Amino acid sequence: MFKQRAADYKDVGNRLLAKLLDDGSDVFAGLSGEHIPILTEISPTQVSALHRIGVRAFVADSCATNSHAAIISRALGIAVLSAVADIRTAVKPDSTIILDADSAKLIVDPDDEMLEYYAQRVQVEELIRQKREKLKETDCLTQDGIRIRIYANMGMPEELPAVKDLGCDGIGLFRTEFIYLSRDTLPGEEEQFEIYRKVLSEMAPLPVTIRTFDLGGDKLLHLIPSPQECNPYLGNRGIRFSLSHTELFKTQLRAIIRASAFGKVRVMFPMIIDVADFIEARNIFNQCVDELYSEGYDYDSSIAVGTMIEVPSAALCSDALAQECDFFSIGTNDLAQYALAVDRNSEQVSRYYIAHHPAVLMLIRATINNAVKHNKPVSLCGEMASQAEYVPILIGMGITELSVNVNSHYHVKTTVQQCDAKLHMIVKNFDFNTSLPEVDKLVYRTLKPYYTKQGRS
């Protein structure tokens, strides 16, 4: 029993310390853009707090590559190093340190030569930034004329200025979990409506795809009593949690539908496993539409309703799902995690988390083929879309919409512009029912020229 309540004790302890130190809830008081914090662990909300302060890098004992905190850090352009050995012995409070995330190095008290080297590196990065500004004005076409739409992933409203500055095609994934976390009460309809209205109106006329709440009861125990689960990743989370708490779900859907009067919105459900799952969620969506109509609210009557394809069963049922959904969005982070039975947040088994594993690619290809078969749009919004080495193989499989992290947009666009008709033939004729080494060879050798001709390799 005490083991299960450990998180509650930790929370009380942190709150008590904050009161004793009289700094409110601001654990980052005193930090500025010149600091590199060294942390035990970090949450997505805290990443956003560091960004507001102007912090450009941090070190954390625990921050797995595919954790939400790491994903948001990349989106905000914050450099991160994790699991650095003996760091607290080597680094003193007044140390000068350089965090080189590209090379996974932390340099303590660098000499003049090293400082000069990194000063030059910064200048090179600035030249790359200027080149990307010019790239903004170019069309996102492959060399054989195929239009690839590049959307942005967004996890918090603070990212909106950076998203608008990209010149992207819209927001392909707007995560809404931030609305529910780090608060003492559940957000009401009006509060959510104002958030969605602001994002939609500022992005108009470009589309915004809003993913409904994608967490489990383990994250909201202080707000909604929920049974303890041994494995929350396989438990009552995503659409399952929303369907078991319909009032919470309807509050969010009503807010989104009302906000649709101010811009172009699409709604998608997370962790759908089959057609019955999707229809149940869509029925509740339709109930909300009927209620708002009878109450006299303005809204867009043609809101597209789609599903994330992030559970293997959904990919395998994608033929039937495509006949009911308005669109698909493939979430490769969870798709790989569930297909390979690997916790993507665990450093211990990180070597088993292989986004381009043949099994994962076969699920992606099946999903794309079924979407095309029923003439339904399909995008890919997982981390694969933000990694240049995967862009050619995704385009070769037929993906024409990518939703990427803000920091990856220009590199991905550059890669898209290198793709050609030959690439399509290479991927089309490749048998993914093969060994991982063969797929490695395809991605890192055969397709390498398509993502290293421009920009950084």
Contacts of 138 (CB under 8 A, 6+ apart): 413, 417
Catalytic annotation, pick one of 381, 409, 411, 424: 381
Q: Long-range contacts of range 202-205, CB-CB < 8 Å, 24 or more positions apart?
A: 202/160, 202/164, 203/160, 203/163, 203/164, 203/170, 203/171, 203/263, 203/264, 204/262, 204/263, 204/264, 205/263, 205/264
CB 394 within 8 A of CB 385: yes
* Residue 419 is a catalytic residue: no
Catalytic annotation, pick one of 68, 245, 356, 411: 68
Q: What is the DSSP letter of 321?
A: H
Q: What is the DSSP letter of 85?
A: T
Taking alpha carbons only, the member of 183, 311, 198 closest to residue 255 is 198
Contacts of 92 (CB under 8 A, 6+ apart): none
Taking alpha carbons only, the member of 331, 315, 326 closest to residue 274 is 315
Taking alpha carbons only, the member of 231, 234, 311, 230 closest to residue 278 is 311
Tokens of 450: 């398509």
* Residue 288 is a catalytic residue: no
Q: Active-site positions?
A: 68, 381
